[in-house]
Structure 1
């Protein structure tokens, strides 16, 4: 079993949020280029010199994740932390160095680069002063960050949270319930194994939901049952599916004329040459390929060459709609809903609590579960105090019906999508989850300022 870190976190004390810096990726990229000379970037028709990185403030509020990582981060004046930054990818950028040829870079290219390589950023906020730090400038030093998570709500923009590199492993294993390390181990044993990265990225943020409070519900008091699929009466409907459609298109590629002497002159200005005899300590030899130019940071803008057009074919998946008059439409009946007994329902809340935890997401509605069970057992001549759940629990657990406080369906357990990594069977996967959730807690959130929502389930 992989150790994910401490589980004796104090969930009763007040935890203040932390403020972090939010930065546009193109600002960091342009600032890093200043070592090559004077950098100017284009806004509309005006060229502006890159002088500094402009940042905004963002907030990481109380959550299961923040309480877990709290002991490892540094707060400056109790509120600000350099251990996280938010990187935003809202803009493409066009720039030039020392008034040379303009270069364009797309925001998608920036996203790919920083996701793979991380980002180094120097905040202007000074560290808390220490006696050993004699100079003021020593209180601001560069920090390397690695991409931690993308918020599902920001998926279209690619906005995401980066964390200080030496905290990344601890944080990502907590968010993924140890599956991050399991993927690493299993990929070494089977390099061709395919992992559900997209699903994992979506569910790892569940413990970062802003919490309004916390509740602990032991797993041996949670009954898990299969959800019900129901079908409507035959009705008019549209059946949507994918169909394969052959598609022909033209692919244009600019071919550089490497034999043109002007091409050699241009790369000489950047400290490179295609001629081995000209190479020296100040001029580096590179091959006559576009890949060699790209690997050495040279972007070609369409001069000295020609465009070659090639006909390409591919099979494209397109949406196909079929209109029918007598289709029975399937619906998952409860899908993410559950019941919580009145005896454990938080006293300061009404109606339901919206619960999130490690790969768990459920809306628990308030009710008299125990009273219902008692009435049902009386009507069917069942001994309430002796009845056990091994025949109805999804994992075959022998739980006392009299001790059940919460009833949920399998749709609330998102980790069921990753059984292949957690042992290969439902039982082994549940044992993994049970071991990890031991003594961990649950959070309650506030939804639209109306009803306190969000509880986290744990054992």
Structure 2
């Protein structure tokens, strides 16, 4: 059992209907598919009285004291509810008793239709109602719990989802979250930022570490200002975003934004000497700290200057002195969000000391959210680490069809092996095994009897897995040599800045980087997400640096970069250093294409005005902010894909040798989508004076793009309604006859889709029946009623799994619900004392397609996997083993070996 606590995740409409349309039809379905991860927040919740129960059935800790609430649906008015109920009665085969119940419910609604509770409510208005009024849930037996709005979760903070908490717990937790400050009903607080910063303690943590705040040196942030030829995006008089060229734009880079340095002794103290960074959380604190020999550096500097290290003192940003021997961590104000509210305490030094006091009250514990990690996407034949690109990365460069063939060759070869080489597919199953799928079940059967690969159920799974993998690659996800690296900005300058010294001798310059992921002295290609345009393509030179290797203990998955007099942060779409990562790829074809972009396209900068509105710290204003946030998040995918539509059209025109103003106008549209996507992503903590929906409409109605889209949109679009609306490149273009034909744009990702579609089909092989794989069994010990009941459970389980897949949008919650359904039915089946003969008989009857026991292939897989989970050894024993012959061959070979060798 893990340390996470599972909670109900409900739609606001479910809660409204339960409370205001109180009827048996609206009882709360207690599905614990939301989660409060192990975090500083959860530790405090349990301390103040969170009621947690242990579920043996699901092997989980669960609580009713917190509920995750989503606002994806509106409340239907009474007439619509009646309409839906009538459709249900007409279209589905329902038991007479249930049908009568629904008809009675329709009568009830008709009799109350004038009551305001049967009016429809928009999701925005519903959010405001529940935030301001709270709600009560009836769990039966007269037990009602009253809930009030609490805060965003760490994981769902950008999605408009919110936590409600048992009323009795709220005040204690909000006081703790806000450092004991009473901020309610104030209008001088940056409320959007407060909502983001108070949720930092909610982030999932892997571990904890003690750092006395008295050992933290806080120093000023440092800016680098320089002139650059850039495209500035801002609104015109009509409120429409436009991109304007500014040849002397003053670029400002924040050199250490979100990063910190932590002495190497702390990494040793938790046994993480192989790690180069930790992402830390505390009250309104977020910093990515890098493994640094701080004490060694300070000692070396003192010796160099002839200073006694025991008396050597360093000043912090407030002019306060501390002994160098006491400095264990170095941060800047950007890591300490509490300083943004310093006026509450009267000054920044007072807030600094108040924050330290509050951290000490929590035993000086910091949560570690993550460490640097290597890719799990395999290695090439030379043993080089691999990671995958995205369609935005590939489509931002002028990659030709032939170059794309070379870039995708590894994936093409791999797909061909998945289709035809059994051992490759078996390794694929192992690599992609999880608690929900049936991968290891098939692997273990294969290890017992490899003829399983010729059965229909195995072939169907293999076909589906390969189809899904090809679809994955069609989204631009092809593997190349390289990996993601956490970015640390100007670490040499940061270390010297902490002691008030400027030493340029060891600094990185321009696009130089330092990383041990790839060899020094060569150039590489780098991308960061979000990535939207050619101006985001970065080419770097990897340079060895003796100072960094001496004082920083960095893994291969960390990269030191330079932002002094170099627009790195704008090239990387507004990157900072609070654990942002970039992918660093080593590929000559990619490098050739990247060089056609790097430095050739002007970076774009955001000069859209921020929202000047003031928000009172209260539930109604929290609802208004979260409604804006929710809308922004829904727009991110749309904005990114519009940008890729413009990008694809741009390359298509270039490859068709088009010249003229249209190309420049397309690039302007790409600039606008770049800034729009940043605004949408940033809205969790910052609001802007821009109507994103209006901008999207302007971009969509442009005469620059066609109505039909590039074919790769078929793979990346989340909207299945647009499935047949793809651009065609045929002589009969525009005719009705060819309206549903697919073609390609002359752009990189459409080339990739064509290449993947051209892969040969798998070699044909004979199909053997599953029943031929089974050992013969006696019918004496078979219990017919038990057999049939188990099959009914498997059918119900299959229905539950399909319902989760079809109805639960959130991927994490869908996974949890599928896991819950499987555990529930495995628990039910486990109550039977199943014998091997019964298990074998069930499998035999299902796979011989006896009419009474006919179920779909998905359910057949679930049946097998259920038995596998129940009793692995018994399950595998129902299959014949073909390993006997192999053992006999080995023995025959051994008999020919000299007996003296066998003895030795």
Where does the alignment leave 5 or more consecutive residues of structure 1 unmatched?
A: 1-13, 39-48, 125-136, 246-316
Q: TM-score, normalised by structure 2?
A: 0.35
Alignment of 1:321-400 (within 5 A): 321-345=243-267, 346-348=270-272, 350-390=275-315, 393-400=316-323
1:76 aligned to 2:53? yes
Task: Tell me the C-alpha RMSD between the 2 structures.
Answer: 2.8
User: Displacement, 1:154?
Assistant: 3.5
The alpha-carbon deviation at position 156 of structure 1 amounts to 5.4
Q: Indicate if the aligned counterparts of 1:395 and 1:430 stay in contact, CA closer than 8 A.
A: no
Who is 1:163 aligned against?
165
Tell me how far apart the structure 1 counterparts of residues 261 and 152 of structure 2 sit (CA, whole Å).
Answer: 31
* Bigger proportion of residues as strand: 1
Partner of 1:440: 364
In the alignment, is the contact (CA less than 8 A) between 1:89 and 1:157 conserved in 2? Answer: no
Tell me, yes or no, if structure 1 residue 196 matches structure 2 residue 190: yes
Q: How far does the alpha carbon of each residue in 1:312-358 deviate from its partner, in whole angstroms, 9 at most, with x for none?
A: xxxxx554543112323110011011111112223235110110110
User: 1:396-435 alignment to 2 at 5 Å?
Assistant: 396-421=319-344, 423-435=345-357
Report the Cα distance in structure 1 between the residues aligned to 2:373 and 2:127, rounded to whole angstroms: 34
Rounded to whole Å, the distance in 1 between the matches of 2:129 and 2:346 is 35
Q: Provide the C-alpha distance between the structure 2 equivalents of 1:396 and 1:437, rounded to a whole number of angstroms.
A: 22
Tell me the equivalent position of 1:142.
Answer: 144
Q: Does 1:17 align with 2:30?
A: no
Distance 2:243 2:180 in 1: 41
1:219-251 per-residue CA deviation (whole Å, 9 max, x = no partner) reads: 22111111210124x332023345665xxxxxx
After superposition, residues 31-430 of structure 1 pair within 5 angstroms as 31-35=18-22, 50-56=25-31, 57-71=33-47, 72-77=49-54, 79-96=61-78, 98-99=109-110, 100=113, 103-123=119-139, 137-138=141-142, 141-151=143-153, 154-155=156-157, 157-179=159-181, 181=182, 183-184=183-184, 193-232=187-226, 234-242=227-235, 245=238, 319-345=241-267, 346-348=270-272, 350-390=275-315, 393-421=316-344, 423-430=345-352
* 1:440–1:244 CA distance, 2 compared to 1 (3 A): farther
Q: Distance in 2 between matches of 1:33 and 1:358?
A: 38
Secondary structure, aligned partner of 2:266: coil
Structure 1 or 2: more helix by fraction = 2
Q: TM-score, normalised by structure 1?
A: 0.67
Q: Which residue of structure 2 lines up, in the alignment, with residue 291 of structure 1? A: none
Deviation at 1:54, TM superposition (A): 3.4
CA-CA distance at 1:370 after TM superposition: 1.2
Mark the CA change 1:449 to 1:74 in structure 2 (over 3 Å): closer, same or farther: farther
Counterpart-to-counterpart distance in 2, 1:150 and 1:243: 34
In the superposition, relative to structure 1, how do residues 426 and 446 fare at CA in structure 2: closer, same or farther (>3 Å)? closer
The 1:213–1:330 alpha-carbon spacing in structure 2 relative to 1, beyond 3 Å, is: same
Q: CA deviation at 1:365?
A: 0.5
Change in Cα spacing, 1:115 to 1:244, as seen in structure 2 (3 Å) is farther
- 2:391 corresponds in structure 1 to none
Structure 1, residues 275-314: CA drift from partner, whole Å, max 9, x if none?
Answer: xxxxxxxxxxxxxxxxxxxxxxxxxxxxxxxxxxxxxxxx
Q: Which runs of 5+ in 2 are unaligned?
A: 56-60, 79-107, 375-554, 559-577, 580-904
Q: Which has the higher contact order (CA 8 A, sep 6+)?
A: 1
* Structure 1 CA distance for aligned equivalents of residues 129 and 156 of structure 2: 18
Q: Distance in 1 between matches of 2:144 and 2:196?
A: 30
Q: CA deviation at 1:114?
A: 0.7
Distance 2:279 2:109 in 1: 56
Give the number of the structure whose alpha-carbon radius of gyration is greater. 2
| Superimposed CA distance per residue, residues 17-65 of structure 1 (whole angstroms, 9 cap, x where no aligned partner) | 2111111110121222334xx7xxxxxxxxxx94433353212121111
